[in-house]
Structure 1
C-alpha cells in the first residue's frame, strides 16, 4: 500500500487522495505563514503574506466543501513534498542574518509553495472534469486562480524591490 492510506485503484481514488494531499498542504501553509509574516521586514511582502493567510484559510474551507460535494470525509494525508518545501524554507530562514536577504529567501520559499499548489490544483481540476464533477472543478478553479495571482504578486514584489535590496 505504500504511503497511501488506502489503495488507489481508480481515477476517483486518485482524485480523493490528491484532495487529501493538498488539504494537508494548505493546513501546513496556514500554520507556517504567521512566522513569515512576523519575520518579513518589507511592508509589501508582509502585507502579501497576511493577505495570503486569509486566502489560505478560505482555500481550506473550499477544499472542505469539495470533500462534502464528493461525499468524502474531510481528511488530510501527509504531503512529503510540502513538508520538504517548508522544512527547506525553515532551514534557509534560520541561516540568514541579513533582514533584506531573509525577505528574498522567504519570498523564494513562498513561490516554491505557490508552484506546488498550482500544479496540484490544476491536476485536481483535470481529474474532476474527467470524473464529470464540473461542480468540484469550479470550486477548485477559484483557488487555482488565487494561487496564480499570488505567484504573480510575489514575482512583482521580488523584481521591483526585494531582490534588489538583498543584492
Structure 2
C-alpha cells in the first residue's frame, strides 16, 4: 500500500480523505476519468475562446458585449487554473475533444448562420448559447471538484470549486439579468 493510505476502523484513509476499500479499488478509474475530464475542459475552454473571438463582432448591444467580455475574463482564469492543476499533477497540459461543448458551439454557430442579418435574433441566440455553455461548465467543474476531493487533490479541488462559483455568479448576476432585460425590451417593441 502507498505511504499515504492507512486502514482505520475498516475504512481506508487516503491523505485527508477517508475511502472504503471498494473506493480505493476505483482510484485508478477515478484518476483516469479526472484527467480525461480535465483535458476535455481544457480543450473546451480553448474552443470557447476561439468561438468568442469569431462572434464578438456580431454583438451590437453594449450591455451584452460587457457581459461577454466579463465572461471571457472569467474564462481566461479557468484556463490558468486548469494549467496549474496539470502542473500539480505533473502532466502535460493538453486538450482532448469535448463533444458536449463542441455540440453547443456548433448549435450556436448554426443559429448565427441561419439568422444572418437579424441582429436581435443573433444576440438572443448568443445569450442562450452562453447560458448553455455556462450550465455545462458548472456541472463539469463541480464533477471534477468532487473527484479531486475524493482523490485528495486539495489544490485542484479548490481551483475547480472557484471556477464553479464564478460560473454560477456569472449565470445568476450577469447573464440572467441581461437576458431578462433584453427579452423584456423585445416584448415591449423597443429592440428590433
For structure 2, list consecutive stretches of 5 or more residues without a partner in the other structure. 1-26, 188-192
Question: Superposition RMSD on alpha carbons, in Å?
Answer: 1.5
SS at match of 1:72: coil
- Residue 53 of structure 1: which of 72, 82, 92 is its match? 72
Instruction: With the length of structure 2 as denominator, give the TM-score of the two structures.
Output: 0.78
Instruction: With the length of structure 1 as denominator, give the TM-score of the two structures.
Output: 0.90
Residue number in structure 2 paired with 1:103: 123
SS at match of 2:176: helix
Kindly state the Cα deviation for residue 121 of structure 1 after the two structures are TM-superposed.
Answer: 0.2
- Residue 158 of structure 1: which of 179, 184, 188 is its match? 179
- Residue 146 of structure 2: which of 113, 126, 131 is its match? 126
For the structure 1 residues 9 and 69, does the alpha-carbon distance in structure 2 shift closer, same or farther, using more than 3 Å as the test? Answer: closer
- Residue 35 of structure 2: which of 7, 11, 16 is its match? 16
Q: How many residues align?
A: 159
Kindly state the Cα deviation for residue 9 of structure 1 after the two structures are TM-superposed.
Answer: 5.3
- Counterpart Cα distance in 2 of 1:149 and 1:45: 16
SS at match of 1:75: coil
- Counterpart Cα distance in 1 of 2:142 and 2:109: 27
Aligned residues of 1:36 and 1:49 also touching (Cα < 8 A)? no
Pick 1 or 2: higher relative contact order, CA cutoff 8 A, min separation 6.
1
For the structure 1 residues 18 and 12, does the alpha-carbon distance in structure 2 shift closer, same or farther, using more than 3 Å as the test? Answer: same
The higher radius of gyration belongs to: 2
Richer in strand (by share): 2
- Counterpart Cα distance in 2 of 1:93 and 1:164: 21
Is 1:73–2:92 an aligned residue pair?
Answer: yes
Aligned residues of 1:128 and 1:137 also touching (Cα < 8 A)? yes
Moved over 4 A (4+): none
